[in-house]
Structure 1
Amino acid sequence: MTIYNFNKGIGWASSGVEYAQAYRSNIFKKNKQIAKFIFTDMFQENLQPMAQNIGFEDDEIIWLYQSFTDVRISPTTFSVKDLEKEITFTIKEKKTSTNSVTYISEENGIRLTAYLDKVATDKVYKTELLVNGKLIQRDYYTYVKTFSEYFKPVDNSARLFQRRFFNVNGSVAYEELLNGKDSLFLFENRIISSKRVLLEEFIKNLQLTAQDILIIDRSTDQGPEIIKCKGPAKVGSIVHAEHYNATLTTPEKILWNNFYEYSFTNVESFDFYVTATEKQKNILAQQFNDYKKADPLVEAIPVGSLDRLRKKAGRKKNGLITASRLAGEKHIDWLIKAVVEAKKTVQDLTLDIYGRGTEESKLRQLISELEADSYITLKGQHKLDDVYKQYATYISASTSEGFGLTLMEAVGSGLGMVGFDVPYGNQTFIEDDKNGYLIPYIKNEDEINIKELSNAIVKIQEKEMGNGGLAQVQKASYEIAEPFLTTQIRKKWLALEKEVCHD
């Protein structure tokens, strides 16, 4: 029996979906349930370090494109010296920078740039070959060359038209010809007409049985192929976020979240669904009954778990922490403005912001403009297991959390909590006036929301500074965290496997 988990991409600043998979991987290993995590996107960087960064092991990972070769998932070990042995032109000049090494030919206008791995900085994960200033070829490496991309100049830009994927011995495993949005894949004994058909062939090659389980984390552009080729295997869909639009839903018709529309509209093809919270489970089950006249198996299994509760006596006085991708929907700018306002009352208030993302430079500028550099700090990406307990309070301005791994981790470290009264994470991990405060959220009223955040920050600091207040807040958070201990979540996954595979 193997549990195959289907996703699309992964990155250095991964989303909650990837972190949820990493937590699930940990549970499966502890349960001795064999699991594989399949990524189907094209990567222009070795995915192994990115997967390892959030806790995956190499033998758990399958990359769709590499699965048709004999190259294994591996760290980048191809060195600069290895590359230099392969260079056939005479090197006139060598330029070295922090992230790359460039070799310039004596003649023919050849320029080869090697890009260095973010983790193993003396190793090469990609090279670019330019001839007379025009990009001709890119090669990608792990412990061997994994694939090459070929370009031709079109309208003063480089257009990708072909890829070659290699076996360990350097032979060509197959080729991809790109034409617009889709591709043609050329193997020695067959032609595959599109990426979707390539995925179908991959699934068929798994030789699935009735004891195998397919878990779909992202169904966009791959859900139909998984269902079509699953054979006797059981299939389930993980619900990672709010699954419907409440505003546009009527008693006669429901508007599903487009990420889950395929899974929900084809309910007869799925064996089970997993939500992260009991509240969402109950809502989804009722909606299946109301709108689809269906009664599928819906289970609530938290997407994360806590190996243990983390405790610490001394914490940073009036120290706030938040952790997330630095993305617009997380509203970190609201938190910054709220803390600036709250500091007028709580003079030694500080905020540390953990995470990376597209909003980082914008947030840094906002902190500077508000002259808050001395007490609001962007801390970057860190492993936070033992960081939360240094603080007294966790704050969030997200207006939509299907679960909220950082919320779980924060209560597991006994922090007081502040967040909006929105489904489903905040409502799961914050008990109003016990371990923190749930704030009313008003859509499109930024200033009111910021003011409410500021007031709640002041309120919880006063609560925690009161006689025995911090101890009571911590006790309440630890009690909320208890059901999310790994020992409890392990039992839920074993029970689901038994129910699905042993009818």
Structure 2
Amino acid sequence: MTVYSINKGIGWASSGVEYAQAYRGQVFRKLGVKAKFIFTDWISYENIAHLTRNLGFKDREIIWLYTFFTDFEVRAGSFTLDDLEKVLPPILERKPLNKAVRYIFANDFWATAYLKDLSSGIVDRVEYVSGANLVRKDYYSYGHYCSEFYAPESNRAKLYQRRFYNEDGTAVYDEIIDGDQEIFKFKDDILYSKHELLIKMLRELNFSKKDIILIDRAEDQGQEILENRGKARVGTIVHADHFSEAETNDATILWNNYYEYEFEHADQIDFYITATDLQKELMEEQFLKYKGKKPQIYTIPVGSLKELKKPDFASRQPFSLVTASRLASEKHLDWAIRAVAKAKKALPELSLDIYGSGSERTMLEEVIKEVGAEDYVHLKGHQQMDDIYQHYQAYLTCSTSEGFGLTLMEAVGSGLAMVGFDVRYGNPTFIADGENGLLLPYDRLATVPEHVNEMSRAIVKLFSSDLPATSEKSYEIASKYRDKQVAKLWKKAIESELHRD
């Protein structure tokens, strides 16, 4: 029996979906459940094993669509500059660069080897240039698994072909690319789209009635998964709010486009998994009201806690706030900065540290300067947060939608007081108003200054409360999310599905 989780991409600044998968992998290992995590996006900037290892996946658990048809395993890079130099043309000059080395050859031909890091000398990819034109990129893990070929067009390098290899260097298949058109040529087969490539992989996995498929991302691949599931049970993981409230009325509902395919084809989905009881109950009501159906829905938190972090409360930095998330617009971190700047007038020692990376960083830096908060609001970048929360007194979230909120769970697991808006689904799950923090009323039609003022007043009120008592209530809430409790939920769901008719 194998549980397959199907996603699209993964990166260094991954979303909650990838973190949820990483937590799931930990649980399955403890249960002794064989798990495979399938990624279907093309990843060019990094060996996929470095990205998956970064989140705690085991190499043996990863299936990547593009190397699935070769004998290359997903494995950390070990192909070095020394290995590369053995296969390069005669080298006229070698120039060290930042995380790269440039090699100059004869006849205006040169190559740049991009490294995992300078100290290891492990090669991720090599780009070859003839004159001023990029002509080829070679990708490496423990060997050379792919080449890309380019031709000049309108003063730019145009990708027209990828070739994938076995470990011994023999070609397995080619991907021919012409704009949005992709053709995959095998020795005995031609596939006319990436959809057909995905179908080929799904069929070769030969799913049995003892297997379970979990769909983490269905966009552009949901139909292929459902039509090529074999005899496996199929479930959908609902990671976010599943419908648009503004476009829903008594007669119709607008599903979130990320889940629309699975929701509209509920007869082909064996079960759904939500992260909170609040979302499960709402989905059940909506399916019955709008579709006349009663689907099987399990509540299983997308994360779990190995332990509760319990330092002496006196060791925490006084008047310290922390928040952690992608630096994305829906997190409204600019509201948090402005709210802290206002609250600072009543709480002179107040500080806020923001952890995470993302596209909004430059904008947030500008907001910090605008409100003059450089001395007490800091962007800390992406870090492993396990042992960081416990140094703070309170956690602040201005997000207006959290399907679960892994950082909320981690914060209560470190005993932080909590403050956030009363929005679906994570905030009311982890914030008990007046007990472990403050849950603020949220009006989506209100102005930004109104939201900021509401949050600012709440911060002042929070730090006027009994924070040690609040901390104990957070630990009480967190206790329901220990590894053992979540593992039991997964075990029950898996056994139920495998024994359902």
| 1:426 matched to 2:450 | no
Counterpart Cα distance in 2 of 1:120 and 1:147: 24
TM alignment of 1:7-86, pairs within 5 A: 7-44=7-44, 45-86=46-87
Corresponding residue for residue 466 of structure 1: none
Counterpart Cα distance in 2 of 1:193 and 1:21: 31
Corresponding residue for residue 153 of structure 1: 152
| 1:496 matched to 2:493 | yes
1:41 counterpart letter in structure 2: D
Corresponding residue for residue 163 of structure 2: 164
Corresponding residue for residue 373 of structure 2: 372
| 1:100 matched to 2:97 | no
Counterpart Cα distance in 2 of 1:118 and 1:439: 45
Aligned in 2, Cα 1:433/1:361: closer, same or farther, shift over 3 Å?
A: same
Per mean C-alpha deviation after superposition, the further-off stretch among 356-365 and 246-255 is 356-365
- Secondary structure at the aligned position of 2:10 is classed as coil
What is the CA distance between 1:458 and its match in structure 2?
Answer: 0.9
| 1:481 matched to 2:478 | yes
Counterpart Cα distance in 1 of 2:76 and 2:474: 39
Q: Unaligned 5+ residue runs, structure 1?
A: 464-468
- Secondary structure at the aligned position of 2:304 is classed as coil
Corresponding residue for residue 338 of structure 2: 337
- Secondary structure at the aligned position of 2:375 is classed as coil
Counterpart Cα distance in 2 of 1:261 and 1:204: 24
Q: Quick check: 2:23–2:303 contact (8 Å CA) kept in 1?
A: yes
- Secondary structure at the aligned position of 2:42 is classed as coil
Counterpart Cα distance in 2 of 1:474 and 1:254: 39
Corresponding residue for residue 440 of structure 1: 441
1:193 counterpart letter in structure 2: Y
1:372 counterpart letter in structure 2: A
What is the CA distance between 1:121 and its match in structure 2?
Answer: 4.8
Q: Quick check: 2:100–2:118 contact (8 Å CA) kept in 1?
A: no
Counterpart Cα distance in 2 of 1:57 and 1:87: 33
Q: Quick check: 1:130–1:136 contact (8 Å CA) kept in 2?
A: yes
Per mean C-alpha deviation after superposition, the further-off stretch among 238-247 and 186-195 is 186-195
TM alignment of 1:353-364, pairs within 5 A: 353-364=354-365
Q: Quick check: 1:99–1:121 contact (8 Å CA) kept in 2?
A: no
Counterpart Cα distance in 1 of 2:383 and 2:324: 10
Alignment partner of 1:462 out of 458, 461, 464: 464
Corresponding residue for residue 195 of structure 1: 194
What is the CA distance between 1:93 and its match in structure 2?
Answer: 2.7
Corresponding residue for residue 403 of structure 2: 402
- Secondary structure at the aligned position of 1:268 is classed as helix
Q: Quick check: 2:99–2:118 contact (8 Å CA) kept in 1?
A: no
- TM (norm. structure 1) is 0.97
What is the CA distance between 1:278 and its match in structure 2?
Answer: 0.2
Count of residues paired in the alignment: 496
Corresponding residue for residue 300 of structure 2: 301
What is the CA distance between 1:118 and its match in structure 2?
Answer: 4.7
Corresponding residue for residue 287 of structure 1: 286
Per mean C-alpha deviation after superposition, the further-off stretch among 216-225 and 439-448 is 439-448
1:247 counterpart letter in structure 2: A
Q: Quick check: 1:76–1:120 contact (8 Å CA) kept in 2?
A: no
Counterpart Cα distance in 2 of 1:339 and 1:439: 16
Corresponding residue for residue 184 of structure 1: 183
Counterpart Cα distance in 2 of 1:396 and 1:365: 20
Counterpart Cα distance in 2 of 1:275 and 1:338: 32
2:286 counterpart letter in structure 1: Q
What is the CA distance between 1:416 and its match in structure 2?
Answer: 0.2
Counterpart Cα distance in 2 of 1:100 and 1:64: 28
What is the CA distance between 1:207 and its match in structure 2?
Answer: 1.4
- Secondary structure at the aligned position of 1:247 is classed as helix
Percent of aligned pairs with the same amino acid: 47
- Secondary structure at the aligned position of 1:438 is classed as strand
Per mean C-alpha deviation after superposition, the further-off stretch among 441-450 and 205-214 is 441-450
What is the CA distance between 1:119 and its match in structure 2?
Answer: 8.7
Corresponding residue for residue 210 of structure 2: 211
- Once the two structures are superposed, residues 250-271 of structure 1 have per-residue CA deviations (whole angstroms, 9 ceiling, x without a partner) of 1211100000000000000000
2:9 counterpart letter in structure 1: G
What is the CA distance between 1:441 and its match in structure 2?
Answer: 2.2
1:38 counterpart letter in structure 2: I
Counterpart Cα distance in 2 of 1:500 and 1:460: 44
Counterpart Cα distance in 1 of 2:156 and 2:143: 29
- Once the two structures are superposed, residues 66-94 of structure 1 have per-residue CA deviations (whole angstroms, 9 ceiling, x without a partner) of 11000011111111121111111x33332
What is the CA distance between 1:474 and its match in structure 2?
Answer: 0.9
Corresponding residue for residue 3 of structure 1: 3
Counterpart Cα distance in 1 of 2:336 and 2:232: 46
What is the CA distance between 1:189 and its match in structure 2?
Answer: 1.5
Aligned in 2, Cα 1:110/1:86: closer, same or farther, shift over 3 Å?
A: same
What is the CA distance between 1:460 and its match in structure 2?
Answer: 0.6
Aligned in 2, Cα 1:9/1:120: closer, same or farther, shift over 3 Å?
A: farther
Counterpart Cα distance in 1 of 2:407 and 2:41: 26
Aligned in 2, Cα 1:228/1:119: closer, same or farther, shift over 3 Å?
A: farther
Q: Unaligned 5+ residue runs, structure 2?
A: none
Q: Quick check: 2:396–2:420 contact (8 Å CA) kept in 1?
A: yes
Alpha-carbon RMSD: 1.2
Alignment partner of 1:449 out of 437, 448, 451: 451
Corresponding residue for residue 132 of structure 2: 133
Q: Quick check: 1:316–1:391 contact (8 Å CA) kept in 2?
A: yes
Aligned in 2, Cα 1:120/1:440: closer, same or farther, shift over 3 Å?
A: farther
Counterpart Cα distance in 1 of 2:118 and 2:10: 16
Counterpart Cα distance in 1 of 2:192 and 2:424: 43
Corresponding residue for residue 418 of structure 2: 417
Aligned in 2, Cα 1:239/1:76: closer, same or farther, shift over 3 Å?
A: same
Counterpart Cα distance in 2 of 1:362 and 1:81: 43
Q: Quick check: 1:2–1:212 contact (8 Å CA) kept in 2?
A: yes
